[in-house]
Amino acid sequence: MARDGQVEIPLRIVIDNPVDGVWHSLQAKDGHPLDARRAKAGEALAFDFPVRVAPGPKFFGDQVRREGKERRFVYIRVGQSAGDHGSAWSRRMKIDIHDLPADLLDRAAAGEGVIELVVDGTGKDGTPACATVRPTAQRLAR
């Protein structure tokens, strides 16, 4: 629910090309995995959640994390971090949202769709992506 001066918008993170068999999840407000699921070969994973946006823009919500005065991001937990204790990996992807284009924010706030951020789930070395992962696409989806 939006608070005074804030508008709630839908956000979707799509993990394209995830490593087969590896679990991914959002990071919950308490730091634990949320909505964990196992990647299947050739299938993207998508995580939908709301964020609140105030003028500035400033971002708030259960999945929104902060670093410094301006940086806001969302964590995607991977492998052991996502709850798969038998995984060879224990990682997190950090996906920035503080630099989303104003036109996408305005259109999502107007109810025109969901802001979709697409990231590559596989690193250059063939293992699950981790650390700061830059979107390969930012778009408004229905």
Other Cβ atoms closer than 10 A to 121: 22
Q: Which two tokens stand for residue 68?
A: 């410094």
pLDDT, tens only, 76-106: 999 999 999 999 999 999 999 999 999 999 9
Residues 139 and 116: their CA atoms lie apart, in Å, by: 5
Per-residue confidence (pLDDT) for residue 4, from 0 to 100: 79
Query: Is a pLDDT exceeding 80 seen at residue 117?
Result: yes
Per-residue confidence (pLDDT) for residue 1, from 0 to 100: 56
Per-residue confidence (pLDDT) for residue 142, from 0 to 100: 87
